[in-house]
Chains A and B, each alone.
Chain A
């Protein structure tokens, strides 16, 4: 059981679609993260929000747009994706700098 909830679990979208991935945590964590993971590779950091402010953007293309409406919610807006963007998208949260990451179940995205 995970305390970080992601929706949807699966998403298939065309290259012209606009969709959003959602993430929610109620552990009071102040940092939230988006990771992208391709098969047989480790998770790759995309964005970090700290106290609801974007603190790291790892040179992610603008077709991915993060949003943090409040300290419990994190969204990832998707627009004009490419087939190579198909991957598992993981949301995570953490409390303090020496505390571990807590991952959601992920959204498996397929771009057709």
Chain B
């Protein structure tokens, strides 16, 4: 089993749609969780950290379920500019600055 798994994608959705991405992780001792977006031929950029109580940033909502070792990202009212690859990242270390594990990514295309 891979350490971090994501929906295989790609997701092709019309503008204005709501889309949800799922991510599961294998290490129950994982400490912190993040969603990054990556545009073609660019570096990954932090979209949002994921907190235990769930958190929202505008059209984006992230949820964490530690019992099920599951993270989700919901995008409402999709824009063309949301087209990117979304990477689930889990910090599986319990000591300083190590062991960020990346999921394989899910590609989203928002269509006009």
A residues apposed to B, CB below 8 Å: 2, 30-31, 33, 41-43, 45, 48, 50-51, 55-56, 88, 90, 94, 96-106, 108
Contact = CB atoms under 8 A, between A and B. Distances in A.
A30 B43 contact: no
Nearest to B45: A103
Contact of A31 (B32, B44, B45, B96): B96
Given A48-B97, A48-B98, A106-B42, 20 more contacts: A2-B43, A42-B87, A42-B104, A43-B102, A45-B100, A55-B97, A56-B99, A90-B43, A96-B97, A97-B31, A97-B96, A97-B97, A100-B32, A100-B34, A100-B89, A101-B89, A101-B100, A105-B42, A105-B43, A108-B41
| B: interface residue count bin | 20 to 34
Interface of B: 31-32, 34, 41-46, 49, 87, 89, 91, 93-100, 102-105
Contact of A98 (B32, B41, B87, B102): B32
9 contacts: A30-B96, A43-B102, A51-B96, A56-B98, A94-B100, A96-B96, A97-B96, A98-B31, A101-B46
Contact of A42 (B45, B94, B99, B105): B105
A105 B94 CA distance: 28
B95 A103 contact: no
A16 to B, nearest CB: 27
